[in-house]
C-alpha cells in the first residue's frame, strides 16, 4: 500500500508543476510577485500533501514535501524557497507528534540542496538533464533519510527500513518527472516569446518575407511583401506562388524551388514578380529550405527586397551622369567653336565695311555673317545646356517677368493657339536671371505650339510648392524645400515613353530636319539646373504635355527689376586700351575692331607681354581688355597685377564661357564686366563704351 500512497503523493506533484507553469506565464518568475506566488504554490501543495500523509508510527508521518520544497528552491530561488519552508514548517509544527521537530528540521537542508543545485545548474539558462535531476533527487532524499535516523525514541532505523527503498526508488524519479515538466514549460514559454518577437520583426520589416509549403503554396507573407505586390497579407495566404508570377517567369520560379529542394538554398537572385495590376517589377531574393527531423523538406522560406526604387535611382543616376558628360562635351566644343566663330563673324563684318553694298561679293559676305550668327545662337544654347552661360541673377516675382513676355509669346505661338495665363497671387520671389526665364518660356511655348496640330490651347501657370521627402522619393530629380512653380501646359499630341526618356538630351528631336535642332529642352534643362531647380514632365499621348519648372524660393523680398537704359549712340573712342588675348587671330581681329572705333590699342599675346607693354607705355591706359583663360596667368590675376600700377584702369573680361575665375558656377562676381565671345563689332563698341563711361570702379 505504501507504493500507492506514494504514487498519490506524486500525482499531487505533477498537477503542482502544471499550475506552476500557468502562474509563470502570467506572473513571470523574473518578478518578485511571481516568485512569491510560486513559493506559496509549492508550500501550499506540500501542506496539502501533509494532510494526507503516510503515517509510519504515531506522530511520524511521511509525505512529498521534500520533493516540493527542493524543486521550488531549484526552479524559483531563495524567496520561493523561504515561503515554501515557512508554510511547510508551520504546518508540520501544527500537526505535532514525535517527529514534528525533525519534520521541520528536514525542510531546511532540502531547500538548501535546491538552492545549491540552482546555483550550479542555472535552470533558466538551460533545462537540467535527466541524470542531473536524478542525482539531485537522490541527494535530497539521502539527506532526508539520514536525518530520519535522528528521530527521537530510536524509531529512525525502523522508519528508514520501512520507507527507505520505496522513497529512494520513487522520489528521484518523481523529481525527474516534475523537474522536466517545470523546465519544459518554462523553455516552451521562452520559445513562444522568442517566436512572437521574431514574428513581429518579420511582420513589420521593410523587406519581404515569405514561407511556402513544399508544393509552393504561400503559408506566410509579411506586410511588406504583400504591399509590394498590391495585396493584403490575408489575400495571399493559401494561394499558389504562381499568382505572383506571370507565364514567362514561372519557369525561373520552378527552377528556384527545385534548387531549394536539392541544394537547400539559393543565393541572391533577381527575380521578376508580377503585381496584382499585372505590372512587373524586380525583387532581390534569397531562399532556403526548412527540413524536419528526418531531413525531408518541410517548407521553403525566402526574403525579398523590392528593387523598384533602387532601379529608379540607378537609372536617374545614369541619366544624370550622361547629361553631365554630354554637358562637358558640349561646353568644350562650344568654347572652342566660339573662338572660331568670333573670327569668322568679325572678319566678315570688317570685310562688309570695306565692300560697297552694290559689289557682287557683298551678298555672299552677308550670307556668311547670317550663318555665323545662327551658329552663334546655337553655341549659346549649348553653353546654356552646359551651364556655362554667364548670368546676372535678380530677385524677381515670376508673375511680373512672365507678364512682360506674354505679348511676345502670343506672337510666337500664332493665332490658332490660345494662350491662357493663370498666375497665382502673392508668389514667393526667386533669384534668377530674367533673360533665362525668357529663354525657358520661349522654348516651352514653341514646343507646345509645335505639338498642337490645328487649334489648341497653351496655358502658362505659376504657383508655389513645399516639397517633402515623400514627394521627392517618388519624383526624379526633386529635392525637398520651398519652390516656385512655372508650368507650361498644352493639349497637343503628347509624347511616348521613348521620347520622354531622351527629352533633355542635346540634339534629340523628333522634328523634321531643318525644323528642330533638339536644343530647346537641353537649354531649359541647363538653365533650371544652373538655378538649382528641377523639371517635372507629365505627358500622355494624344492628351497633351505639362512641363513644370521648380525654382527654389528666394528667402527675402522682391526688388523691382530696373529697366535697362535706352541705347545711346556710341561715341567714337579716343582712349587707350590694353588688349591681352592668347589666340592670335582673335587678338588681331579685336584689335582691328577697336582701332576702327578710334581707340589706341596696345595688343599683347601673353599676360607677361601685357605687363611689359603697360609699364613701357607713356601715358594713361583707360581699359584693360583681357581673355579669362590664358596660359601662365589668368585674366583676373593679370588685372590684379596691373591694378597696383594703374589704379584707375577699367577692366573688361572676354571669354567663350564664364570660367570660375570670374564667376562661380556661371554667376558673375559683383562689379565684373564681361563680354561673351563671339561678339560683333557693334556689341564690342557698346560694351567698351559702357565700361569706360561707368563711374570709378
Q: Is 509 in the site for ligand ATP (CB under 6 A)?
A: yes
**Binding ligand ATP by CB under 6 A: which of 495, 578, 630, 633?**
495
Stretch that binds ligand ATP, among 151-159, 295-303, 353-361, 506-514 (CB under 6 A): 506-514
* 459 is an interface residue for ligand ATP by CB under 6 A: no
- Residue 511 contact partner, candidates Mg ion, ligand ATP, none, CB within 5 to 8 A by sort of partner: ligand ATP
Least spacing, CB of residue 516 vs ligand ATP, in Å = 3
Rg (CA), the chain: 47
Does 520 sit near Mg ion (CB under 5 A)? yes
Taking CA atoms, 537 is separated from 460, 499, 511, in Å, by 14, 11, 19
Question: Which stretch of DSSP H or E encloses residue 469?
Answer: helix 469-474
Verify binding: residue 492, ligand ATP, rule CB under 6 A: yes
- The CB density around residue 204, as the number of other CB atoms within 10 Å, is 10
Check residue 128 for interaction with ligand ATP (CB under 6 A): no
Q: Is 280 helix (H, G, I), strand (E, B) or coil?
A: strand
Site residues for ligand ATP, window 525-554 (CB under 6 A)?
545
Q: Assess 503 for contact with ligand ATP (CB under 6 A).
A: yes
Pairing state of beta strands 623-627 and 650-655? Answer: parallel
Measure the CA dihedral 534/539/543/546, to 10°.
0
Q: Is 516 in the site for ligand ATP (CB under 6 A)?
A: yes
Residue 219 binding target from ligand ATP, Mg ion, none, CB below 5 to 8 Å by type: none
The pattern of x and - marking residues 22 through 61 that bind Mg ion according to CB under 5 A reads ----------------------------------------
Helix residue ranges, H only, 489-534: 497-502, 520-530
Give the integer Cα–Cα distance in Å for 422 and 427.
12
Contact set for ligand ATP, span 425-454 (CB under 6 A): 443, 447-448, 451
* Range in contact with ligand ATP (rule: CB under 6 A) among 343-351, 487-495, 588-596, 644-652: 487-495
Strands 218-221 and 208-213: antiparallel
386 binding partner (options ligand ATP, Mg ion, none; Cβ < 5 to 8 Å by kind): none
CB of 446 to ligand ATP, least distance (A): 6
Measured from the CB atom, the residue of 445 and 625 that comes closer to Mg ion is: 445
Please report whether residue 382 would count as binding ligand ATP according to CB under 6 A.
no
- Is 484 among the residues that bind ligand ATP (CB under 6 A)? no
Q: Which is nearer to ligand ATP, 448 or 638 (CB)?
A: 448
- Smallest distance, ligand ATP to C-beta of residue 536, A: 13
Bridge partners (DSSP) listed for residue 291: 297
Among 129, 132, 162, 499, binds ligand ATP (CB under 6 A): 499
Contact 67/86 with Cβ under 8 angstroms? Answer: no
CA distance 631 to 638: 11
**Is 598 within 8 Å of 573 (Cβ atoms)?**
yes
Contacted by 374, from ligand ATP, Mg ion, none: CB < 5 to 8 Å by type = none
Q: Which is nearer to ligand ATP, 74 or 493 (CB)?
A: 493
Please, which residue, 521 or 621, has the CB nearer to ligand ATP? 521
% helix, strand, coil for the chain, step of 5: 55, 20, 30
Answer yes or no whether residue 412 interacts with ligand ATP by CB under 6 A.
Answer: no
Mapping DSSP onto H, E and C, the string for 14-79 reads HHHHHHHHHHHHHCCCCCHHHHHHHHHHHHHHHHHHHHCCEEEECCEEECCHHHHHHHHHHHHHHH
Shortest spacing between CB 630 and ligand ATP, in angstroms? 33
Can residue 376 be called a binding residue for Mg ion (CB under 5 A)?
Answer: no
**518 contacts which partner out of Mg ion, ligand ATP, none, CB within 5 to 8 A by kind?**
ligand ATP
The residue among 302 and 495 lying less far from ligand ATP, judged by its C-beta, is 495
Q: Site residues for Mg ion, window 442-461 (CB under 5 A)?
A: 447
Closer to Mg ion by Cβ: residue 49 or 520: 520
Bridge partner residues of 441 (DSSP): none
Note whether 77 and 115 are within 8 A (CB): yes
CA distance 180 to 17: 9
- Contact at 8 Å (CB) between 309 and 318? no
Helix (H) or strand (E) holding 282: strand 280-291
Q: Which is nearer to ligand ATP, 208 or 492 (CB)?
A: 492
As a whole number of angstroms, the distance between CA 548 and CA 220 comes to 44
Q: Which residues, in sequence order, are bridge partners of residue 625? A: 579, 652
Among 207, 421, 508, 646, binds ligand ATP (CB under 6 A): 508
Residues interacting with Mg ion, by CB under 5 A?
447, 520
Residues interacting with ligand ATP, by CB under 6 A?
443, 447-448, 451, 490, 492-495, 499, 503, 508-511, 516-522, 545
Amino acid at each position: 500500500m505504501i507504493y500507492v500512497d506514494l504514487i498519490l503523493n506524486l500525482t499531487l506533484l505533477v498537477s503542482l508543476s502544471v499550475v506552476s507553469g500557468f502562474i509563470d506565464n502570467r506572473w513571470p518568475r523574473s518578478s518578485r510577485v511571481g516568485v512569491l506566488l510560486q513559493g506559496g504554490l509549492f508550500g501550499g501543495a506540500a501542506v496539502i500533501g501533509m494532510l494526507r500523509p503516510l503515517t509510519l508510527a504515531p506522530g511520524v508521518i511521511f509525505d512529498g514535501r521534500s520533493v516540493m520544497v527542493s524543486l521550488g528552491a531549484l526552479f524559483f530561488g531563495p524567496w520561493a524557497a523561504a515561503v515554501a519552508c515557512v508554510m511547510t514548517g508551520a504546518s508540520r509544527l501544527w500537526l505535532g507528534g514525535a517527529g514534528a521537530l525533525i519534520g521541520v528540521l528536514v525542510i531546511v537542508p532540502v531547500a538548501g540542496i535546491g538552492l545549491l543545485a540552482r546555483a550550479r545548474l542555472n535552470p533558466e539558462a538551460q533545462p537540467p538533464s535527466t541524470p542531473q535531476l536524478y542525482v539531485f533527487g537522490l541527494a535530497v532524499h539521502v539527506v532526508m533519510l539520514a536525518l530520519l535516523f535522528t528521530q527521537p525514541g530510536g524509531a529512525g532505523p525502523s522508519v528508514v527500513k520501512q520507507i527507505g527503498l520505496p522513497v529512494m526508488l520513487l522520489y528521484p524519479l518523481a523529481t525527474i518527472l516534475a523537474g522536466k515538466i517545470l523546465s519544459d514549460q518554462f523553455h516552451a514559454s521562452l520559445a513562444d516569446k522568442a517566436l512572437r518577437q521574431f514574428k513581429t520583426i518579420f511582420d513589420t520589416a521593410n523587406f519581404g518575407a515569405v514561407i511556402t509549403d513544399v508544393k509552393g503554396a504561400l503559408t506566410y507573407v509579411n506586410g511588406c511583401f504583400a504591399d509590394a505586390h498590391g495585396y493584403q497579407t490575408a489575400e495571399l495566404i493559401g494561394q499558389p506562388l504562381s499568382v505572383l508570377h506571370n507565364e514567362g517567369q514561372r519557369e525561373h520560379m520552378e527552377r528556384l524551388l527545385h534548387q531549394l529542394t536539392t541544394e537547400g538554398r539559393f543565393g541572391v537572385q533577381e527575380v521578376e514578380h508580377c503585381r496584382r495590376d499585372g505590372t512587373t517589377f524586380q525583387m532581390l531574393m534569397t531562399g532556403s529550405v526548412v527540413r524536419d527531423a528526418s531531413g525531408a523538406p518541410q517548407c521553403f522560406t525566402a526574403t525579398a527586397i523590392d528593387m523598384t526604387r533602387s532601379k529608379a535611382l540607378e537609372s536617374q543616376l545614369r541619366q544624370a551622369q550622361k547629361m553631365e558628360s554630354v554637358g562637358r562635351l558640349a561646353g568644350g566644343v562650344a568654347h572652342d567653336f566660339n573662338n572660331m566663330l568670333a573670327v569668322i563673324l568679325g572678319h566678315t563684318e570688317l570685310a562688309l565695311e570695306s565692300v560697297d553694298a552694290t559689289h557682287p561679293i557683298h551678298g555672299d559676305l552677308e550670307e556668311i555673317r547670317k550663318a555665323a550668327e545662327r551658329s552663334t545662337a546655337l553655341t549659346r544654347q549649348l553653353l546654356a545646356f552646359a551651364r556655362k552661360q554667364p548670368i546676372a541673377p535678380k530677385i524677381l516675382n515670376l508673375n511680373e517677368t512672365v507678364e512682360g513676355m506674354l505679348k511676345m509669346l502670343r506672337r510666337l505661338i500664332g493665332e490658332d493657339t490660345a494662350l491662357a495665363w493663370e498666375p497665382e497671387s502673392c508668389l514667393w520671389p526667386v533669384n534668377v536671371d530674367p533673360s533665362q526665364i525668357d529663354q525657358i518660356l520661349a522654348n516651352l511655348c514653341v514646343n507646345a505650339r509645335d505639338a498642337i496640330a490645328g487649334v489648341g490651347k497653351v496655358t502658362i501657370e505659376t504657383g508655389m510648392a513645399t516639397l517633402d521627402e515623400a514627394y521627392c522619393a517618388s519624383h526624379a530629380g526633386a529635392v525637398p524645400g520651398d519652390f516656385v512653380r512655372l508650368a507650361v501646359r498644352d493639349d497637343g499630341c503628347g509624347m511616348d515613353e521613348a521620347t520622354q526618356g531622351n527629352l533633355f538630351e542635346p540634339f534629340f528631336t523628333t522634328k523634321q530636319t531643318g525644323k528642330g535642332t533638339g536644343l530647346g529642352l537641353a537649354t531649359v534643362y541647363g538653365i533650371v539646373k544652373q538655378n538649382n531647380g528641377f523639371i517635372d514632365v507629365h505627358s500622355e499621348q494624344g492628351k497633351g504635355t505639362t512641363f513644370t519648372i521648380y525654382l527654389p524660393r528666394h528667402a527675402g523680398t522682391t526688388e523691382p527689376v530696373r529697366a535697362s537704359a535706352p541705347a545711346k549712340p556710341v561715341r567714337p573712342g579716343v582712349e587707350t586700351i590694353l588688349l591681352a588675348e592668347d589666340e592670335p587671330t582673335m587678338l588681331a581681329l579685336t584689335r582691328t575692331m577697336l582701332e576702327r572705333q578710334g581707340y589706341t590699342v596696345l595688343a599683347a599675346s601673353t599676360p607677361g607681354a601685357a605687363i611689359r607693354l603697360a609699364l613701357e607705355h607713356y601715358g594713361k591706359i583707360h581699359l584693360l581688355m583681357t581673355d579669362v583663360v590664358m596660359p601662365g596667368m589668368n585674366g583676373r590675376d593679370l588685372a590684379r597685377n596691373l591694378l597696383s600700377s594703374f589704379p584707375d584702369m577699367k577692366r573688361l573680361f572676354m571669354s567663350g564661357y564664364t570660367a570660375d575665375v570670374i564667376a562661380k558656377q556661371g554667376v558673375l562676381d559683383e562689379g565684373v564686366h564681361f563680354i561673351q565671345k563671339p561678339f560683333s563689332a557693334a556689341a564690342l563698341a557698346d560694351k567698351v563704351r559702357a565700361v569706360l563711361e561707368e563711374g570709378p570702379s
